[in-house]
Amino acid sequence: MIRDASIICFAHDWNGDPTSKTHIMRILSESNRILWVNSIGWRRPSVSTRDARRIVNKVRQAATERLVEVRPNLHVMSPLAIPLPGVPGVDALNASLLAASVRAAARRIGLRDPLLWTFMPNTVGLVGRLGESKVIYHCVDEYSAFKGVPREALRRMEDALVRRADLVLTSADSLCRARRALNPCTYFVSHGVDVAHFSRALDRDLAPAPEVADLVRDGTRVIGFFGLIAEWIDLQLVRELAQRRPGWTFVMIGKATVDLSPLRGLPNVRLLGQKPYASLPSYCRAFDVGLIPFRIDELTLNVNPLKLREYLAAGLPVVSSDLPEVRKYGHLVHVAAGADAYLREIERALTERAEPLDRARVDAMKDESWEARVEEISELVATMDVRV
């Protein structure tokens, strides 16, 4: 395990749903000092209420939450940046202002010779400006495939960052192969899972969440999803499944960044919104099957969904779109393409709810904890030839 190091981490906003970034830095903060820098964004804002609200929140955070200790050894800072990524003059100005503010925050909390650990490809302009001893680029998505990003500019930034990094980590084999062509010090490290947290779903003393408790009492088959409901979720597929199986209830949990009208008004679909991470096992307690209804495109073909291992750690059979990283769990997951196949595989999965099978799925996840992943990463960091 990495110990007694200083780390500057660029990632999403700390107060969002826990992701791989959150879990990794939470564990590392137990024996290292970390400055987490909230997202500086890589999308240009649109004329929308959501983007206007996000800008207001960013300004408020920068004004009132400049540097906050959110847990021992882990401080979060909320910088401001001009939201015009890919514009050369603006990128240079943002890098200068951000470097100065991050250096000041690092000095304030006593970081020395920090390890620059970035999950954000648009931070390449900060490399060499933070007094860092090493640079780790941790790639968990095909970032240029997101909608609304300056695609070519982001690709150029990422290519430059990959070349300059001392170590590149990726969460999917496909991401690893593409980036290893630019930097031989590139390695695949899969996501982990909090087994102790999600396996609580099998605890008979845990009550189902109130919003789904009636479904459990009535013996209704519950097909569940939790996570961000975004551009990669196939809402039309979920709609067709719900229409063709009116006796099942489809429960969708998560913040939505897309129009949910395809699902609204369906009597057997419950849109419950975002829920605290701590409460997810109580929802899984009511699920009969965990669903991963992703579209198939450049973005999802390079994704490694966290919810896959979280569903399994909750003892749930899983039905998923045919994704390369999901395929590796073929003995535990039902893969489907199209509504007919989804219905067939869900019906098969519903026959697999028995305590020995549920416990076997949990047991299969015990070697995939976040602690094990951090140990794996630490070994890579410890053995690297530093190229600075």
**What is the amino acid identity at position 7?**
I
Domain boundaries, the chain: 6-192+369-383, 195-368
| Per-residue pLDDT tens over the stretch 194-204 | 999 999 999 99
Q: Tell me: pLDDT of 46 over 60.
A: no
Mean pLDDT of 281-303: 98
Who wins on pLDDT, 213 or 90? 213
Confidence label for 59 from pLDDT (cuts 50, 70 and 90): very low
Instruction: List the beta bridge partners of residue 170.
Output: 139, 188
Fold match flag (6-192+369-383 vs 195-368):
yes
- Yes or no: say if 380 and 169 are a contact pair by the CB < 8 Å rule: yes
250 half-sphere exposure, CB direction, 13 A CA radius: 24
3-state class (DSSP) for residue 203: coil
CA distance 337 to 282: 29
Quote the pLDDT of residue 51: 46
Give, in words, the CATH class of 6-192+369-383: alpha beta
- Give every CB contact of residue 144 below 8 A, 6+ residues apart in sequence: 151, 152, 154, 155, 158
Mean pLDDT of 189-218: 97
- Give every CB contact of residue 284 below 8 A, 6+ residues apart in sequence: 198, 201, 224, 290, 311, 314, 315, 316
Share of the chain above pLDDT 70, in %: 91
Give, in words, the CATH class of 195-368: alpha beta
